[in-house]
Amino acid sequence: MAKDLVLLGGGHAHMVALSRLREFRERGHKITVVQPAEHHYYSGMGPGMLSRIYSPEEIRFHTKVIVEKQGGRFLLDRADTIQAEQKMVRLASGQSLPYDVLSCNVGSSVASDLAGSNGDVFPVKPIASLLNARQRVLEAASTGRLELGVVGGGPAAMEIAGNVRRLLGDEGSGQYQVRIFAGRRFLARLPRKVRMKAGRKLAALDIQVLEEGYVHDIQGGEVRLENGAVYPADMVFLATGVRPSGLFSRSDLAVGPDGGLQVNRYLQHVEHPEIFGGGDCIYFQDQPLDKVGVYAVRQNPVLADNLLSALEGRPLSPFEPGGDYMLIYNLGDGTGLLHKGWLTLNGRLAFRIKDSIDRKFMRRFQAMEAG
């Protein structure tokens, strides 16, 4: 019997499912994909797009084309609430969308109340917004000296700072200063060796790292810290970590401490077995996971298999998070910082490894657009 599969979002955790939509259709099922934009941008290459290492076309998938080429339906819309008892998604447009099986890969947003501050303040998510930020940086740099701040103490802040510094340097102007407002400790969750290498590299790039305390507010071209210190900032990027979409809390679904959709070992909601999820928007009940893309990539095949099994009443497969994973950060100047277990490597080789992995991932799934 034909059933309705609805996918909310075409992000990393849904890529294998999207690649198999034709198979789902051939087995008699109907597929609808809902996304607020026709393209999905790969976050791992976002900082490189900011610095113009990559073009927008190199880091995005055309979700609408991928879906429609395989006989699915694509809706340019956004989920407002999930009415789980009725098996219905209420969309921002007002449309109600029924489902037999629902899968959520709606991502996350920057975890900061500073996003509403006055002035040129740019959250680093959604990734597509970095295009507007890039244009604004170039416009501001052409008018004179530019004071640019990055709020956040994690790897995302480091990558944004390095890549915006490259963007400014490419313009041939030395009239700029980039500062990272890192809270109380920069890269606090990374090993000491990584923090030291990162600190030396950023100092060589003339990027200031401030560990004087958290940002209190951003107003009138200034960043004010909680200790009262004030720094000039014509533009500010917010890279303060991420929080899952508020969709699930609005829908009165069981969520984890971070607000993510609470799922079991089958990536299945703990209360409504016809709802699944993956990526940054979930809270994995068995073992809380870091908000890194590697887990979404690892969830890909399991989630795709379980969606088809749920549609057809077959047993589900468990998701195993796996062990250590490799992280490589793009520092903007053609070098990278690689970390996995005991291994730490920085320099051009690290960036070449990252670039090769990212481009291979993009080629694999961009091929669906022509399929």
4-36+77-109+242-323 and 112-240 share one CATH topology? yes
Neighbouring C-alpha atoms within 13 Å toward the C-beta of 139: 9
Question: What pLDDT is attached to residue 120?
Answer: 87
CATH architecture group of domain 4-36+77-109+242-323: 3-Layer(bba) Sandwich (3.50)
pLDDT in tens, 205-262: 999 999 999 999 998 889 999 999 999 999 999 999 888 889 999 999 999 999 999 9
Out of 3.50.50.60, 1.10.1060.10, 3.40.50.150, 3.10.310.70, the CATH code matching 112-240 is 3.50.50.60
Domain coordinates in residue numbering, the chain: 4-36+77-109+242-323, 112-240
Question: What pLDDT is attached to residue 318?
Answer: 97
Q: Quick check: 119 pLDDT over 70?
A: no
Question: What pLDDT is attached to residue 371?
Answer: 64
- CA atoms of 263 and 348, how far apart (whole Å): 39
Nearest to 125 by CA among 245, 294, 207, 255: 245
Q: Which phi and psi angles does 236 have, rounded to 5°?
A: -140, 135
End-to-end CA distance of the chain, in Å?
A: 27
- CA atoms of 250 and 253, how far apart (whole Å): 8
Question: What pLDDT is attached to residue 270?
Answer: 97
Segment 342-346 shows an average pLDDT of 92
Nearest to 277 by CA among 106, 92, 58: 106
Segment 48-62 shows an average pLDDT of 96
Q: Quick check: 117 pLDDT over 80?
A: no
Question: What pLDDT is attached to residue 62?
Answer: 96
Work out the angle at residue 63's Cα, subtended by the Cα atoms of residues 60 and 69, and round it to the nearest 5 degrees.
130
Q: Quick check: 115 pLDDT over 90?
A: no
- CA atoms of 119 and 181, how far apart (whole Å): 17
pLDDT, greater one: 243 or 99: 99
> Where is average pLDDT lowest: 74-88, 322-336, 356-370?
356-370
Rounded to the nearest angstrom, the gap between the alpha carbon of residue 361 and the centroid of all alpha carbons in its chain is 15
Question: What pLDDT is attached to residue 172?
Answer: 60
Work out the angle at residue 73's Cα, subtended by the Cα atoms of residues 71 and 75, and round it to the nearest 5 degrees.
155
* pLDDT band, very low/low/confident/very high, at 269 (cuts 50, 70, 90): very high
pLDDT in tens, 139-191: 988 888 899 999 999 999 999 999 999 999 876 656 899 999 999 999 999 99
Give the sheet arrangement for strand 88-91, strand by strand.
Answer: 79-83, 88-91, 96-98
Question: What pLDDT is attached to residue 1?
Answer: 74
pTM: 0.94
322: left (phi over 0), alpha (psi -120 to 50) or beta: left
Question: What pLDDT is attached to residue 45?
Answer: 96
Provide the mean pLDDT of the chain: 93
Question: What pLDDT is attached to residue 266?
Answer: 98
Tokens (6 digits) for 172 = 């041939």
